[in-house]
Amino acid sequence: MPVKSLLRYSLQASMRKLAETRPLAPQPADIDRFLSLCHRRRYPSKAPIIRPGDVANTLYYIIEGSLAVMTEDDEGRELILAYVNEGDYIGEMGLFMEVEKREVMVRSRVPCELAEISYERLFQLFEGPLKDECPRILFSIATQLTKRVLQTSRKVSRLAFMDVTSRVARTLVDLCEEPDAMSHPQGTQIRISRQEISRIVGCSREMVGRVLKQLEEEGKISVTGKTIVVFQTR
For residue 58, what is the domain's CATH number?
2.60.120.10
Cβ contact 115:35 at 8 Å? yes
Indicate the SS3 state at residue 177: coil
Last residue of a domain, one of 161, 179, 200: 161
Cβ contact 65:113 at 8 Å? yes
Nearest to 94 by CA among 48, 68, 59: 59
Q: Region of 46 please: left (phi>0), alpha (psi -120 to 50) or beta.
A: left
Average pLDDT, the chain: 89
Q: Distance (Å, rounded) from C-alpha 89 to C-alpha 118? A: 13
Sign of CA dihedral 141, 144, 149, 155: negative
Q: Are residues 222 and 157 in the same domain?
A: no
Q: Are residues 70 and 108 in the same domain?
A: yes
Distance of CA 137 to the CA centre of its chain: 18
Q: What is the mean pLDDT of residues 175-192?
A: 94
Last residue of a domain, one of 103, 132, 161: 161
Beta bridge partners of residue 107, listed in sequence order? 48, 68
Domain count across the chain = 2
The answer to whether the pTM exceeds 0.75 is yes
- pLDDT band for position 27 (cuts 50, 70, 90): confident
Last residue of a domain, one of 161, 196, 223: 161
Q: Are residues 136 and 62 in the same domain?
A: yes
Q: Are residues 34 and 84 in the same domain?
A: yes
Q: Are residues 14 and 90 in the same domain?
A: yes
Q: What is the residue range of 200's domain?
A: 164-231
Q: Distance (Å, rounded) from C-alpha 163 to C-alpha 220? A: 17
89-117 confidence digits (pLDDT tens): 999 988 888 888 999 999 999 999 999 99
113-158 confidence digits (pLDDT tens): 999 999 999 999 999 999 999 999 999 999 998 988 898 898 889 8
Q: Are residues 128 and 179 in the same domain?
A: no
Q: Are residues 168 and 156 in the same domain?
A: no
Q: What is the total residue count of the chain?
A: 234
Sign of CA dihedral 54, 57, 63, 69: positive
Q: Are residues 97 and 174 in the same domain?
A: no
Q: Distance (Å, rounded) from C-alpha 59 to C-alpha 195? A: 30
